[in-house]
Structure 1
Amino acid sequence: MDKLDTKLLGLMQEDAGLSVGNLAEQIGISKSACWRRIQKLEENGVIRQRVTLLEPTKIGLSLTVFISVRTSQHNPKWAENFKAAVQDISGITEVYRMGGDVDYLLKAIVSDMSGYDRLYQKLIAADLFEVTAGFVMETMKQTTVLPLSSIMSKD
């Protein structure tokens, strides 16, 4: 990956809807060269997917919850079952296996406290030891943009 790829990715992170022509113009290359770069970045897995980000509160999803999970089951079979369970629970948007006091950290976006309770009831069916939730009162920063400036300085 070179500086042009990094600049291209930065533009695409900010607005995935930009046309290839617009992207090419902004980084100073031809449309066909720009398209080839995008295809290569997709083939190499650098670009996972292009999405439209929605504003949850505008569609009735006003409660964001971070859920800490501890388990007494530390074996591959349980982990596989837990992974399958969280994949199937609507509202869970992110799941991380953690080091430290918490085994798993989940992020969920639901309509309200009743929506969280429905999610919680599905979650506890997975044979968990301890579930703790923290409810977001205010989002102070949220971005999907990765810090490309730190990799640009390596060139």
Structure 2
Amino acid sequence: MTLDDIDLAILRHIQNDARINNSKLAEKVNLSETPCWRRWKRLEEAGYIDGYRALLNRKKLGIQISSFTLITMGNHEEESTLPFEEFAKETEWIVMCHCISGGADYMVHLVAKDMDEFFERISSLRRIKGVSGLQSNISVKEIKSGTQMPLSD
């Protein structure tokens, strides 16, 4: 599926405001409502839209610690990496996990209410079979945070 300018405009508006209704979206992209709705559904069905989420304010929720932790595995065999990957997928306080290149094997973004909770969480990561090292980098100031993808005009 090739995206045209209208598809990109629809994605841009949905990305900026996932609560936009079809009527308002159609107005913004200069389409009538039915063709706009069809395009929107086609973009969903084609997998361009993974879902719709609310962005929560972690500090208002009492989550003061945000850490980017590098994880090193003992080896790269599936029996070593699988327990860690399953733990990361199932753990709510790990908000992001990537397998990376470079000196470490994974980078996780984890959150905690305070340093005591952070220490507990790091300790639980250390206990996972296959994990051989951790390096935590605690964020002291958030400059930019978001989930928006760049869309060409």
Q: TM-score, normalised by structure 2?
A: 0.93
How far 1:101 sits from its partner (Å)?
0.7
| 2:140 maps to 1:137 | yes
Any residues of structure 2 matched to 1:20-59 within 5 Å, and which? 20-59=22-61
1:142, 1:84 → 2: CA distance? Answer: 25
In the TM superposition, what are the counterparts of 1:3-152 in structure 2 within 5 Å? Answer: 3-127=5-129, 128-149=131-152, 152=153
What is the alpha-carbon distance in structure 2 between the residues aligned to residue 61 and residue 33 of structure 1? 43
CA distance in 1, matches of 2:80, 2:42: 38
Unaligned runs of 5+ in 1: none
Q: Alpha-carbon deviation of 1:83?
A: 0.8
Q: Which secondary structure does the structure 1 equivalent of 2:63 belong to?
A: coil
Decide which structure has greater helix share. Answer: 1
Aligned length: 150
Matched to 1:13, the amino acid is: Q
Q: Which runs of 5+ in 2 are unaligned?
A: none
Per the alignment, in what secondary structure is the counterpart of residue 60 of structure 2?
Answer: helix
The one-letter code sitting in structure 2 at the alignment partner of 1:135 is I
Aligned letter for 1:109? Answer: V
Q: TM-score, normalised by structure 1?
A: 0.92
Distance in 1 (alpha carbons) for counterparts of 2:80 and 2:101: 17
1:77-115 deviations in Å (ceiling 9; x for gaps): 222221111122221000000111111000012211112
Deviation at 1:121, TM superposition (A): 2.1
Q: Which moved more, 1:97-106 or 1:120-129?
A: 120-129
RMSD over aligned CA atoms reads 1.1
Query: Shift in Å at residue 133 of structure 1?
Result: 0.4
Aligned sequence identity (%): 25
* Structure 1 residues 63 and 107, CA gap change in structure 2 (3 angstroms): same
Q: Hey, what's the Cα distance between the residues in 2 that align with 1:31 and 1:115?
A: 49
Q: Deviations over 1:3-54 (max 9, x none)?
A: 1010111111111011110000000001111111111111111100001111
